[in-house]
Amino acid sequence: MSHFQPDIRHRAEELIALYPRARSAMLPLLHLAQEQDGYLSEAGIEEVASLTGTTSADVRGTAAFYDMYHLEPVGKYVVGVCTNIACLLAGGEEFLEHASQKLDCAVGSTSSDGLFTLEETECLADCDKAPCVQVNHRYVRTTTPETFDTLVDDLREGKLDHDVPSHGTLIRVRRNGGLRAARQEIVDQRARSSAARAQRAEEAK
Amino acid sequence: MAMLDSPRIVSSRAQYADSYTLTRYLETGGYVALRKALTMFPEAVAAEVDAASLLGRGGAGFPAGRKWSMLRKAPVSYLVVNGDESEPATFKDHFLVERDPHQLVEGVIIAAYALQVSQAFIYLRGEFALGLERVQQAVNDAYSEGALGSKIFGSDFSIDLVVHPGAGAYICGEETALIEGLEGKRGFPRIKPPFFPAVTGLYGEPTVVNNVETMSNLPWIVNNGGAAFAALGVGRSTGTRLFALAGRVNNPGVYEIEMVKNTFRDLIYDPALGGGVIGGRAVKAIIPGGVSAPWFGPDLLDLPMGQDEVGEKGSMLGSGSVVVLDETSCVVRAAWRITKFFSRESCGQCTPCREGSGWIERAMYRLEHGGGRMEDMDLLLDLCDNIAPGLSWPPQQTTICVLGSSIPSSVHSAISMFPDDFKAHVLHGGCPHD
Amino acid sequence: MTDVIRTTVNITVNGREIEVKAGELLIDAAERAGEYIPRFCYHPRMEPVGMCRMCLVEVEGPRGATLQPACYLHVNDGMSVCTNSEKVKKAQDGVLEFLLANHPLDCPVCDKGGECPLQDQTLAHGSGETRFIEEKRHFVKPIEIGELVLLDRERCIQCARCTRFSSEVAGDTEIAFSGRGDLIEVAPSPDKPFNSVFSGNTVQICPVGALTAKPYRFSARPWDLEQVESTCTTCAVGCRIAVQSSGNRLTRVLGVDSDPVNHGWLCDKGRFTLDSIDQNPESTDVLSAATRITTPLVRVNGVLEPASWGEALGAASAILRDASATPGGVGAIGGASLTNEGAFAWERFMRGVLGTENLDAQFGDGLDPVLLQALTKATIDEAARAKTIVTLTGDLREELPILFLRLREGAVSGTSAIVEFAFGPSALRSLARVSLVVRPGEAHLCARSITDHADAPAGVAFSNEELLEARRLIGESGEGVVFVVGRPNFAEDPRVIENAIRRFAERYPDARFLVALRRSNVAGALDMGLGSQLRPGRGYDAEAKGLDTLAQLEALRRGDQKAVVILGGCLLGNVADVKGATAALENADVIAVTGHGGATLGYANVVLPAAIAHERSGTVTNIEGRVTAVTPKIVAPGSAWPDVAIAAELAEQMGQSIGLSSVEQTAKTIEETTGYPALSVMNDEVHDGAVVGRSDASSLRHALDPMAFPGIRSAESVGLASYTGAIVEERAQGSVHTRCATLEDLANAEPLEVPLADSYSLRLVVSRRLYDRGVAMGGSPSLHNLVKPTTLGLNHVDLDRLGVEEGAIVSVTGASGSVRLPVELNEGVARGSVEIVFGTKSATGEDAVAVLYDPTSVISQVRLESR
């Protein structure tokens, strides 16, 4: 019995088929598991382990290396506030403090109503909009405490569900089909190409 | 005066709100270059890139053409595009992937054709949720157009392109760690030698790793010729480049300007570019190439922005980021926060980086927040020396990768440029700016 | 002009030019040239990772001298290296200061203190003080990551030796690095604790006290320990070990790097069952395997009473004199737990004094010793490097764990292809190139389908493609092929698998065989003649037929045999037909020579206490025929005697002499009379034992790296000769009295009547696990939780067919009755069969094998009912 629901399982299988080796699909598969469960559950990790041909300990250890994977449940909205250099210079630390108060949760934890998890992030690569904020990895351009407060209120009321979907960075990413170039076709083409190039090199002499 | 008349090589579509759509792309010359490239011999396409003298736009600045030529003996198995932009205060690849994904895709296909590679990956930072959507859509469009897949545009060349998401780790921007991530593992950089990707890369096979911006230049280069690209800029620093200006300026943003012809002063002060420092204040320091780069003082504002020019003065253009600190900025706090970044992002494999970054961060924390001592400055410099012996530029390293040798940059710069600030912190028992 | 491939290159180290092996790692080359480079993460038996940075040295390059990790560089001609410049010293100083920054000041309470590479290298290369005044990193300490291993994350220096061992050597990746940067922890999966059978190796190779072993924790300080080097006799692989004791109690066993055998690794059973050897004063029940027998016992009025040696020997000799008066009236069972010298002495006693041919070192759970003798032997190295390895065994990871590791090397590196005959679940499955699933009773038919190009039996679980692939990998003559053969299914008549083995041996004359019988010194006991038609020195006498164990038990039941001497081990704990064996013992006069108690002693008339394990000197022989020395470390408890002494005194009691007085003298006699290496092995401190009949398999010991093997004393400090390249005299090759058996000596194979499978029954597979209810486990409390209760293993196809849920309790009926067992899903079990593990008890304390096994049939069949 797969832990993945049919739609996620289908996407998982398509993903694996894109890579020469199954293990390469590890990162996107973990994103899918997180998309389904809201975080990386033990069952999700085991499923990914079996799909990528390794052990749960290995998958969990790999997931723990990366910041985007949550090994414990998180809120519906993961709010990331950057305090790295450009945001620091734009008052990022104070902004984070404000966010913590507005969301009523400590940095690195989840609000008691389970709606928000607040994270202090590293550079989000949006530095001309400093201080930078992402919610569920969507940029929300809100650079003042006031606009931040409005954002939070909107989120609470579900007004931003279109702009801020749930977790899972791949939630709206869909590829239109698998690999198209057949193995043998590639092998033949490369052989022809190398031969032709060698010949051109010869003629150039 | 800034020289602003160079062509928009990679940012030509920024003016359009729908710049990322296939319709707009085709209307503005999309896929003309690829079709042209397919009529040329692959080595002729590579020759154009060589002639352009296109330096890598990632961080290391290694000439792309030379990187490709390293592989002429052995066939390349994979092309991997590094879209893991995580260097603090760098946001120009973000701009390219969200605003002109088709240009990137076309550039990648051109590169793949030149290298005769049939499987290419674009590794995008996982936090670029929208970027992933847009690039994947551009890839889907390319397949529909016949620019990707079997025998593209009726040629003999077949290629598949896979968009691969990262998951939040700065170190995966290092090319061997990126490859590890692409292999589904922790982003532990590999030791070079022997693991130069050109020799032993993805799955142990010869791999070319190039940056998003580097790839995005290729359509223009094919359309206009490498010589036209090389005619811009000066010396080794050819063409234009995207610079991500941030910090205490009026108009932070991504600016495409000609290499070398413009100085830091132009970028920061020109009304069409940075628009000057907020409140008319004085520049205290510039971080020229991402936080891995040593700092410059205001005395170097008139330095031309070129690879060699900046290198000779002991820093680098690096990732294309320029951060401006002004007289109200606390350099100790800035250096502390940068060190904290490195400590959080260290992969943990090797002792000097893993333990050294944490120790330096702790000492800097005391200096900034209270408990700093006069002897801490010498201690910090010695710890930095144990990570990057000699504290020279370019740095030596006791570590596996260059993240280690980047740790000293901000600390060393801050202490040597602003010793009085540090002393004031010690005497004040914390930051006097608050 | 032909290219000469150079085997050596010249490099310069610290200004001195030296010649080193081409392609060698710089760190090894420098060490052998006398320039030891400090290191933490490097381990000679694993791939280097260059992570700790302790081994940085200055290497000349085109841009001047740069710091490079010596463990990662291969030497090339002209390399110029400096290991002691100021820059190198500063780098080493720096690395140590960094490592110690967050390292807790635990030395006074840390097991590793006194044998700690971090302590030692800090003393040698670090500065005297730290400048670190920050708060150190904190973790909850320590945590149990497995049943036997504790982890203190504060002490960990992230060298990855343990995680690399788990993925690279053991291959089970039960622990892995979790997290990033200085928050990296070694972690198992939360619901899958680190219970690999190899977990103890990580404790041994950890260069700090981060990983500690529960059984050893806080037991001793290294400077209290005395050490000898010996051979482990828990199974038959014969791993080399360092045995350490304090006072007269065994404290610890560490793996020694023997190149031809175990590479420094041990399994947890060999490593952590010392408690079973030390006398446990609380355990006094002689029927318990946890009890050491320390005085002779004689049954008086139905009760075993302590007696003096004189009384006991007197009682024993009376029994034996009476029994041996009738031809075939006495016999000996067992002997695989003896040393070669002990076995030799008993052989002389049984044949020489009692005049009987009824001898068998095996308990009916092995293979025909004449067949085994006739096989052309392979060494472990040869098996590990063979082009094709064919296995006809149970799960080798459970039966001979270190052999599994050795074979795994070849499979993973791609040099060897494994063709697995799969009788049940096995760790080999994921390594094998081809797995041919074989049902009980069909091994010989499957063998024939390979050798004779016959069709496979109808309905087999493997395809024709797999069969063809197997044939292709084995080839025509068997050249480059090693067959690893054992007894995969205890419930199956051994003639089935023996038939298969014989077929392969006859068909592939160039193939070699590695005999994977698991018990202790079974190879040595058979080589010393403890078997029908066998003679000491791996000899054979076609005329001398006697009764093997099962035949002796039959004869005891009938009354044709009156008495039996049980040489070590517990008979009743090791047979499948427990009822039959019990009936035999009830009817017989039993003399038990043993170190431990057990159910068998319930039927003994006389019990003679023997020295066991690390109380003995002598030699033992492993599965490849390698003879190595065992060295005593503690004195046997109470009045336990060495076997040689018991046999000699018993002979004296009967008015005869076996001409043996001491172990050393016995070893000398063995070598002089048969040419079998014994005394020469005991006296040789330069080689890794000697392989019988294979002087080409001689292997020199290499010098010890204390940083890779912390805790093991260097050769000098324990008085072993340091490596000087002493010339070893040629061993006596000749004067073997009797020849070795050949395939032609084997009797014609009788046709095997295998009952047809009916759709209501399932065939029984009885397999082994490392952790069972034997003597070693019984006396080792720290491993008790690792012994699983009996379950019934079934393939999902059969589960579905029978409509049974995983975990449900079912009633299983066999030859002697029914037993209730929970069902466990296991895809490794062949369809149409069930698997039960030998040596376990059900949740209600029953021995399922005893109930279900059918001694009258070639295979045992059972039926399931889900009510």
The mean predicted confidence, pLDDT, of chain B is: 94
Tell me the C-alpha to C-alpha distance, in Å, between residue C796 and each of A193, B19, C425, C804.
51, 56, 13, 9
Interface contact flag, B169 C180, Cβ < 8 Å? yes
Same domain assignment for residues B293 and B165 = no
How many other CB atoms are found less than 10 A from the CB of residue B271? 10
The answer to whether the CB atoms of A65 and C179 lie below 8 A apart is yes
pLDDT band at C456 (very low <50, low <70, confident <90, very high): confident
Structure tokens at C643: 């076997």
H-helix or E-strand containing C551? helix C549-558
Asked if A61 lies within 8 A of C167 by C-beta distance, the reply is no
Q: Is residue B183 part of a domain?
A: yes
What pLDDT, on the 0 to 100 scale, is given for residue C757?
73
For residues C175 and C166, the answer to whether their CB atoms sit within 8 Å is yes
CA B380 to chain A, closest CA, distance in angstroms equals 20
Write out the H or E segment, with its range, that includes residue C607.
strand C606-609
Asked whether residue B374 falls in the same domain as residue B312, the answer is no
> Residue C3 — very low, low, confident or very high, per pLDDT cuts 50/70/90?
low
Which residues of chain A make contact with B127, given a CB cutoff of 8 A?
68, 80, 124-125, 134, 137, 169
pLDDT tier for residue B64 given thresholds of 50, 70 and 90? confident
Q: How many CB atoms lie within 10 A of CB C105?
A: 9
Average pLDDT over residues C340-348: 97
* CA-closest candidate to residue A66, choices C179, C107, B110, C263: C179
Say yes or no to pLDDT of A130 above 70.
yes
Rounded to whole angstroms, the Cα distance separating B99 from C486 reads 67
Beta bridge partners of C700: C687
Per-residue pLDDT at C724 exceeds 50? no
Q: Is the pLDDT of residue B78 over 90?
A: yes
Domain with B313 in it = 241-326
The domain that contains B411 carries what CATH number?
A: 1.20.1440.230
Please give the single-letter amino acid code of residue C54: M
Strand partners, B208: B79
- Cα separation, C720 vs C684, in Å, equals 10
Cis amide bond preceding B408, omega within 30 = no
Asked whether the bond before B395 is cis by omega within 30 degrees of 0, the reply is no
Whether residue B283 is found in the same domain as residue B202: no
Rounded-to-integer distance, Cα C553 and Cα C571, Å: 11
Contact C53 B344 (CB under 8 A): no
The verdict on residue B61 lying in a domain is yes
Contact call for B129 and A181, based on CB within 8 A:
no
How far is Cα C740 from Cα B193, in angstroms, rounded to an integer? Answer: 55
Amino acid at the residue C298: V
Task: Answer whether B94 sits within 8 Å of A176, measured CB to CB.
Answer: no
Q: What is the pLDDT of residue A18?
A: 96
- Which of residues B274, B295, B326 is at a domain's end? B326
Domains, in order of start, for chain A: 1-73+187-198 (1.10.10.1590), 77-156 (3.40.30.10)
C380 and C561 Cβ atoms separated by less than 8 Å: no
Number of domains in chain B: 3
Summarised one tens digit per residue, pLDDT across range C176-231 is 999 999 999 999 999 999 999 999 999 999 999 999 999 999 999 999 999 999 99
- Calpha distance C519→B321 (Å, rounded): 69
pLDDT over threshold 90, residue B420: yes
Provide the token pair at B161.
Answer: 């392109």
**pTM score, two decimals?**
0.95
- Residues B214, B255 within the same domain: no
Residues B87 and B152 in one domain: yes
- From the number of C-beta atoms within 10 Å of its C-beta (0-12, 13-18, 19+), residue C123 rates as exposed
Of the three residues B303, B326, B349, the one that is the final residue of a domain is B326
CATH code (residue B278): 3.10.20.600
Phi, psi of A79 (to 5 degrees): -100, 120
Quote the DSSP letter at residue B365: H
Name which residue leads in pLDDT, C677 or A190. C677
| Domain shared by B200 and B313, yes or no | no
User: How far is residue C828 from each of residues C428, C457, C797, C834, measured CA to CA in Å?
Assistant: 11, 20, 11, 10
Q: Which residues of chain C make contact with A55, given a CB cutoff of 8 A?
A: 172-174, 176, 189, 192
What's the whole-number mean pLDDT along residues C790-805? 92
CA-based angle B117:B123:B125, to the nearest 5? Answer: 165
Among A42, A61, A66, the residue with its CB nearest the CB of C176 is A61
- Closest CA in chain A for residue B159: A181
| Cβ separation A60–C178 shorter than 8 A | yes
What is residue C698's predicted lDDT score, i.e. its pLDDT?
84
Asked if residue B17 is part of any domain, the answer here is no
Rg (CA), chain B: 22
- Yes or no, beta carbons of A60 and C179 under 8 Å apart: no
Per CB distance under 8 Å, which residues of C are interface residues toward B? 49-54, 56, 66-67, 69, 72, 87, 90-91, 93-95, 97-99, 101-102, 131-132, 134-135, 137, 157-158, 177, 179-184
Q: How far is B422 from B412, CA to CA, in rounded Å?
A: 12
> Do the chains contact at B359 and C137, CB–CB below 8 Å?
no
Size of interface B-C (CB pairs under 8 A): 98
Q: State which amino acid sits at residue C701.
A: R
Q: Please judge whether B150 and A138 are an interchain contact, meaning their C-beta atoms are less than 8 angstroms apart.
A: no
Q: How many CA atoms lie within 13 A of C373 on its CB side?
A: 30
Please tell me which of C357-366, C458-467, C713-722 the model is most confident about, judged by mean pLDDT. C357-366
The alpha carbon dihedral of B100, B106, B108, B111 has a sign of negative
Mean pLDDT confidence for C815-833:
93
B64, B56 contact by CB (below 8 A): yes
User: Taking CB atoms and an 8 Å limit, are A193 and B42 in contact across chains?
Assistant: yes
Mutate to test the interface with C, among A26, A48, A54, A55 (most CBs of C within 10 A): A55
Q: Give contacts of B87 with chain A, Cβ < 8 Å.
A: 123
The answer as to whether B76 is a domain residue is: yes
Whether residues C181 and B351 touch (CB distance < 8 A) is answered with no
Rg (CA), chain C: 28
**Residue B235 in domain:** no
As given in the structure block, the two tokens for residue C620 are: 């033992």
Residue of C149, C189, C430, C805 to mutate for A, most A C-beta atoms under 10 A: C189
Tell me, yes or no, whether B79 and B216 share the same domain: yes
Give A83-113 as a 3 state SS string: CCHHHHHCCHHHHHHHHHHHHCCCCCCECCC
Whether residue C94 and residue B349 make contact (CB cut-off 8 A), yes or no, is no
* Chain A residues with CB-CB distance to B140 below 8 A: 174-176
Let me know whether B372 and B400 are in one domain: yes
pLDDT in tens, B47-60: 999 999 888 887 77
pLDDT surpassing 60 at residue C728? no
- Helix/strand/coil percentages in chain B, nearest 5: 45, 15, 40
pLDDT per residue over C696-705, tens digit each? 888 888 777 8
User: Given A42, A64, A66, which is nearest C191 (Cβ)?
Assistant: A42
Residues B377, B401: one domain?
Answer: yes
| Three-class DSSP category at B382 | helix
Exposed / middle / buried, residue A163 (Cβ in 10 Å: 0-12, 13-18, 19+): middle
Q: What is the CATH number of the domain that holds B57?
A: 3.40.50.11540
Q: Distance from C22 to chain B by nearest Cα, in Å?
A: 17
The answer to whether position B421 is within a domain reads yes
Compute the average pLDDT of residues B70-82. Answer: 82
Take residue B234 and report the two structure tokens written for it: 């000066």
Q: Which of C632, C634, C736 minimizes the C-alpha distance to C676?
A: C736
Inter-chain contacts counted by CB atoms under 8 A, chains A and B: 209
CA distance C23 to C25: 7
> In whole angstroms, what is the distance from residue C682 CA to residue C628 CA?
7
Say whether B334 sits in a helix, a strand or coil: helix
Spell out which residues of chain C touch residue B400, defining contact as CB-CB under 8 Å. 50-51, 53
Mean of pLDDT over chain A: 94
Report the residue of chain A nearest C191, measured CA to CA.
A42
Which tokens is A111 given?
Answer: 């609000």
Q: Is residue B424 part of a domain?
A: yes
Considering the domain boundaries, does residue B87 fall inside one? yes
Find chain B residues with C-beta within 8 A of C177's C-beta.
186, 348
Residue C390 has pLDDT above 50, yes or no: yes
**Percent with pLDDT over 70 in chain C:** 96
Residues A14-25 have a mean pLDDT of 97
pLDDT at C733 over 70: no
**pLDDT on residue B73:** 65
**If 0-12 CB within 10 Å is exposed, 13-18 middle and 19+ buried, where does residue C716 land?**
exposed
B115 closest CA partner among B145, B54, B86, B73: B73
C176: contact with A, CB 8 A cutoff: yes
Answer whether A172 touches B (CB < 8 Å).
yes
Is there a contact between C342 and C621 (Cβ–Cβ < 8 Å)?
A: no
Q: Is A125 near chain B, with CB under 8 Å?
A: yes
Q: Quick check: C172 contacting A, CB < 8 Å?
A: yes
**B191, B354, B363 ranked by CB distance to C181: nearest:** B354
Q: Which residues of B touch C137 (CB under 8 A)?
A: 358
What is the b/e burial string over C366-379, where b = at least 16 CB atoms within 10 angstroms of the residue's CB? bbbbbbbbbbebbb
**A172: closest chain B residue by CA:** B133
Does residue B221 sit in the same domain as residue B262? no
**Is C507 a residue whose pLDDT tops 80?**
yes
- What is the model's pLDDT at position C734? 38
pLDDT of the residue at C695: 82
Of A21, A30, A130, the CB nearest to B246: A130
Transcribe B107-158 into DSSP letters: HHHHHHHHHT-SEEEEEE-TT-HHHHHHHHHHHHHHHHHTSSBSSGGGSS--
Residues of C in contact with B345 (CB under 8 A): 180-181
Report CB contact under 8 Å: A130, B185. no
By C-alpha distance, the chain B residue nearest C159 is B349
The rounded distance, in Å, linking the Cα atoms of B291 and B277 is 20
| Mean pLDDT for all residues in chain C | 92
CA distance C790 to C797: 21
Contact B348 C181 (CB under 8 A): yes
Distance (Å, rounded) from C-alpha B266 to C-alpha B284? 16
**Which range has the worst mean pLDDT, A141-145, B344-348, C566-570?**
A141-145
Q: What is the CB-side half-sphere exposure of residue C224 using CA atoms within 13 A?
A: 14
Alpha carbons B318 and B57: distance in angstroms, whole number? 8
Domain end (from B183, B202, B229): B229
> Chain C partners of B344 at a C-beta cutoff of 8 Å?
180-181
Could you report the predicted ipTM of this complex, rounded to two decimals? 0.96
Length of chain B: 434
pLDDT digits (tens, 9 = 90+) for B270-295: 999 999 999 999 999 999 999 999 99
B80 and B223 share a domain? Answer: yes
Q: C190 contacts in A (CB within 8 Å)?
A: 42, 60
Q: Are residues B82 and B215 in the same domain?
A: yes
Residues of B with CB under 8 A from a CB of C: 169, 186, 191, 343-352, 354-359, 362-363, 366, 379, 385-387, 389, 396-400
Contact C181 B355 (CB under 8 A): no
Q: Is C246 exposed, middle or buried (0-12, 13-18, 19+ CB in 10 A)?
A: middle
